[in-house]
Structure 1
Amino acid sequence: MEIRAYTEADRAELRALFGRAGEGAPTASLWGHVESEAAIYLDPYLDREPESVLLAVVDGALAGYLVGCLDSSGFPSESARMEQAIKRYRLMLRPATMAFFARALTDMAWARLRREPTAGELTDQRWPAHLHINVEPMARGTGAAAGLMHRWFDRLRENGSPGCHLQTLRENTRAVRFFERMGFHTYGQDPLVPGLRHQGGRLHQRTMVWTP
């Protein structure tokens, strides 16, 4: 197993990995349209901050990746990236993705009635960096995920970052336990993620923070 920096020559293989990594987990997909989801959670990092993209290679093949940003205030917000992807790919008009948005509207109305918060982004200069990490099932237990995180921590320290945050799902207990082992702590509430389902149940956002 090797952890190395991303190069532009890796883009095609990384895009393929994006489509299969996380398979079976609650975070595996938003609305089942890989190209638009990559436009939110992969491509902007490759284009804007490729030096913060790390790869895990197992037996000569890409098996995991970490994309990050040292300062979220200078990076397009997740909501802006999502809005752009929805418009670009006309997701509201695709039969396969319309169900997600119908559920999202229902969930937001349900949350308002119950006066409960819904998922959002963290803006706090104590933890300005953020990351997304994904490892495909065959690489679990190889140390790939931990290797990616430790290399990312090295980058944060080298750049004098005061801290980092990430957002996962409360129901993804495997991921939550892993991030806790890496030194992350839960921050704030666990609000509802509108539209998202796993095994028929609603899902909730878990924000976690790490300080050097």
Structure 2
Amino acid sequence: MVPARDVGGAMSIGIRPFEPFDLPGMYRVCLRTGDSGRDATALYNDPDLLPHIYAGPYPAADPGLTFVAADEQGVLGYVVATADTHAFDGWLEDHWWPPLRARHPRALATDPGDGTQDWQRVEHIHRPGPPEPEALYERYPAHLHIDILPRGQGAGLGRRLMDALLAALRERGVRGLHLGVGSGNPGAHAFYLRVGFTEADRQGWGSVMVRDLTR
């Protein structure tokens, strides 16, 4: 565990490996940062749909690559990752998506026209999308998601979470790491540049960022 420290004299934040009791807090953080870093609560009728995709499966598949930041109020940030994206995609198909597909039938993947985005997440559950290009996967097989609530931002938590993850990945001999950053979140793009990522590709939806872990 990374020792807790005072931030502005107001709170003490520690970073530690994931424990099963962290999951509800992680789900709340995912939802409250799920609109390009902003609170996505109003966008979902089912508050668990977004974190079912971007938070929950990672500690289930490999809890050793999930780290949380917590203070006296609970979880306020986390990083989740997989060391092998293609293997993770296979695990999702075998273990994670089937019960979610049964609970959320494909017929629900229709826009109700009320501004909510549940239907988009249902579509993702049934059609996760194509795998990463082989060239990207070969050099940067791991990927991550990191989210921090506003009350924890500006305290260096992002870098500390990233350092914990990078150490775990390097210990496993993982070659490289990638992630996607939406065009609506320039703050996240700037953060990843500061912690050593580079932009490998830019498209209409955003950027693919990469980091070589062999150096």
TM tier relative to shorter chain: 0.7 to 0.9
User: Which among 27, 33, 54 is matched to residue 41 of structure 1?
Assistant: 54
TM norm structure 1: 0.73
- Matched residues, number: 184
CA contact (8 A) 1:128 1:165 kept: yes
* 1:92 paired to 2:92: no
Partner of residue 122, structure 1 = 132
Alpha-carbon separation, structure 2, partners of 1:145 and 1:56: 9
Do the aligned residues in 2 keep the contact of 1:53 with 1:68 (CA within 8 Å)?
A: yes
Q: C-alpha displacement at 1:27, in angstroms?
A: 9.0
Report the secondary structure of 2:16's partner residue: strand
Q: CA deviation at 1:47?
A: 1.3
Counterpart secondary structure, 1:180 = helix
Secondary structure of residue in 1 paired with 2:139: coil
2:29 aligned with 1:17, yes or no? yes
Unaligned runs of 5+ in 2: 1-12, 124-128
Look up the match of 2:18: 6
Residues 142, 176 of structure 2: 8 Å contact kept? yes
- Matches of 2:167 and 2:157, distance apart in 1: 15
* Structure 1 unmatched ranges of 5 or more: 105-118, 192-203
CA contact (8 A) 2:36 2:185 kept: no
Distance 1:120 1:177, change over 3 A: farther
Cα distance, 1:161–1:52 mapped onto 2, change above 3 Å: same
Q: For the structure 1 residues 35 and 174, does the alpha-carbon distance in structure 2 shift closer, same or farther, using more than 3 Å as the test?
A: same
Secondary structure, in 3 states, of the residue corresponding to 1:207? Answer: strand
- Residues 110-139 of structure 1 show CA distances to partners (whole Å, capped at 9, x for unaligned) of xxxxxxxxx965342100000000001111
Secondary structure of 1:62's partner? strand
Q: How does 1:1-212 map to 2 (within 5 A)?
A: 1-21=13-33, 25=37, 28=40, 32=44, 33-59=46-72, 61-76=74-89, 85=100, 88-90=103-105, 91-92=108-109, 95=112, 96=114, 97=116, 121-123=131-133, 124-191=137-204, 204-212=205-213
Q: Which moved more, 1:51-60 or 1:18-27?
A: 18-27
Q: Looking at both structures, which has the greater relative contact order when contacts are Cα pairs under 8 Å and sequence separation is at least 6? A: 1
Offset of 1:86 from its aligned partner?
6.3
Instruction: Give the distance between the partners of 2:91 and 2:193, measured in 1 at CA.
Output: 23
Say what the alpha-carbon RMSD is for the aligned residues: 3.3
TM-aligned CA distance change 1:42 to 1:99, over 3 Å: closer
- Structure 1 equivalent of residue 3 of structure 2: none
Residue identity in the other structure for 1:88: R
Give the letter aligned to residue 210 of structure 1: R
In structure 2, the residue matched to 1:201 is none
Go from structure 1 to structure 2 and tell me whether the alpha carbon gap of 1:84 and 1:122 turns closer, same or farther (over 3 Å shift): farther
- 2:32–2:39 CA contact under 8 A, matched in 1: no
Separation (CA, whole Å) in 2 of partners of 1:53 and 1:143: 18
Contact preservation (8 Å) 1:69, 1:131: yes
- The alignment partner of 1:179 has SS state of helix
